[in-house]
């Protein structure tokens, strides 16, 4: 749904009234750039308009003009000018009983692995996107905002592909979000995945270090893809073979992948380059082999997240058990060695 024109006098009931607001920055908003704060506030308004009202001086911080890069401090008073806010489609959908019912259904399939006043960590099911987008009204974040309306702040710390299951971190405080993002940037977190790959992956003692540079590109239909490219961005996956399995017509390998970098589709493309695509991968996989062994999903599961708690400093290790689909698939094969 496109946002209503800014000058249009009639506004749907669900939209925010066009009046001047004075917002006092609290501890959870402190540290943000002014432009990022406004883009969150003005959901549905074109980004170009947000920057125009900053440049024109309609937005003020403590009654003074400010730059888009101005860092907000707790206690700052921000003047927000009259802007008619049109909700994005996925947020407007929240108002329907059908969407609320769907959100409750998604939530029931998304167990909470850990929660305190700073963090919410869930076990994301395969097939559920982490956030809404084109053609998707509800993702994890929208679902939780609907079913947990008491949470005034809730943001994704990282992402998982739609068809990947497992441990997903969300922050309930901005300070926690900022700290966890710092840990991710500085390589201080530990993210590990279990996967089932086609074929028997041959590995000597120890762990394989997959260091294939990756390049993102778009297909003619606009769909995003990633390929190994010498001029791409460096990426690094540590791969450990756990078990090799075989039957008359096929072989598979259970392996653990540890992310050293976090590029888009990194594990999936690294396994494709290795010649052992992940079972059920409709972008980088082996379609004929998937049909023969009847893959029902992408067999990639985020089973462990290690990090330092942003508030207490405690070393955290959150784990998710191997999904039933993995167990069922492996029962069709005989262990090797």
Catalytic residues, by residue number, are 161
Q: How many CB atoms lie within 10 A of CB 34?
A: 20
Contact yes or no for 295/163 (Cβ under 8 A): no
Contacts of 276 (CB under 8 A, 6+ apart): 197, 198, 199, 201, 253
Nearest CA to 280 out of 326, 243, 212, 320 is that of: 326
Instruction: DSSP letter for 321, please.
Output: P
CB 307 within 8 A of CB 316: yes
Q: Are 320 and 166 in contact (CB under 8 A)?
A: yes
Of 275, 277, 265, 197, residue with least CA distance to 232 = 265
How far does Cα 34 stand from its chain's mean position?
24
Beta bridge partners of 292: none
- Nearest Cα neighbor of 300 from 317, 283, 280, 327 is 280
Using CA atoms, how far residue 6 sits from 14, 46, 51, 68, 83, in Å, is 15, 10, 14, 20, 7
Distance CA 2, CA 82 (A): 19
Is the distance from CB of 337 to CB of 244 less than 8 angstroms?
yes
């Amino acid at each position: 749904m496109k946002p209503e024109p800014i000058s249009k006098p009639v506004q749907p009931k669900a939209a925010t009234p066009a009046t001047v607001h004075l917002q006092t920055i609290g501890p959870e908003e402190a540290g943000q750039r002014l432009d990022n704060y406004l883009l969150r506030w003005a959901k549905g308004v074109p980004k170009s308009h947000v920057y125009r009202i900053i440049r024109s001086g309609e937005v003020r911080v403590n009654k003074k003009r400010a730059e888009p890069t101005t860092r907000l401090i707790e206690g700052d008073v921000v003047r927000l000018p009259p802007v008619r806010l049109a909700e994005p489609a996925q947020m407007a959908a929240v108002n329907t009983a059908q969407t609320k019912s769907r959100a409750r259904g998604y939530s029931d399939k998304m167990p909470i692995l850990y929660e305190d006043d700073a963090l919410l960590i869930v076990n994301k099911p395969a097939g559920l996107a982490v956030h809404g987008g084109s053609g998707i009204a509800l993702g994890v974040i929208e679902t939780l905002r609907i079913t947990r309306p008491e949470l005034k702040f809730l943001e994704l710390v990282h992402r998982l592909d739609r068809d990947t299951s497992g441990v997903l971190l969300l922050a309930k405080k901005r300070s926690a979000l900022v700290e966890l993002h710092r840990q991710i940037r500085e390589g201080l977190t530990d993210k590990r995945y279990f996967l089932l790959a086609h074929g028997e992956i041959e590995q000597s003692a120890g762990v394989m270090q997959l260091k294939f540079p990756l390049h993102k590109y778009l297909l003619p239909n606009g769909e995003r893809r990633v390929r190994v490219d010498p001029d791409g961005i460096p990426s690094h996956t540590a791969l450990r073979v756990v078990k090799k399995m075989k039957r008359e017509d096929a072989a598979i390998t259970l392996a653990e992948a540890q992310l050293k970098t976090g590029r888009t589709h990194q594990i999936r493309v690294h396994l494709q380059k290795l010649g052992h695509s992940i079972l059920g991968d409709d972008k980088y996989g082996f379609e004929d082999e998937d049909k023969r062994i009847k893959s029902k999903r992408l067999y990639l599961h985020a089973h462990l997240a290690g990090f330092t708690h942003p508030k207490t400093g405690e070393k955290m290790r959150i784990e998710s058990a191997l999904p039933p689909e993995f167990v069922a698939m492996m029962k069709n094969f005989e262990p090797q060695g």
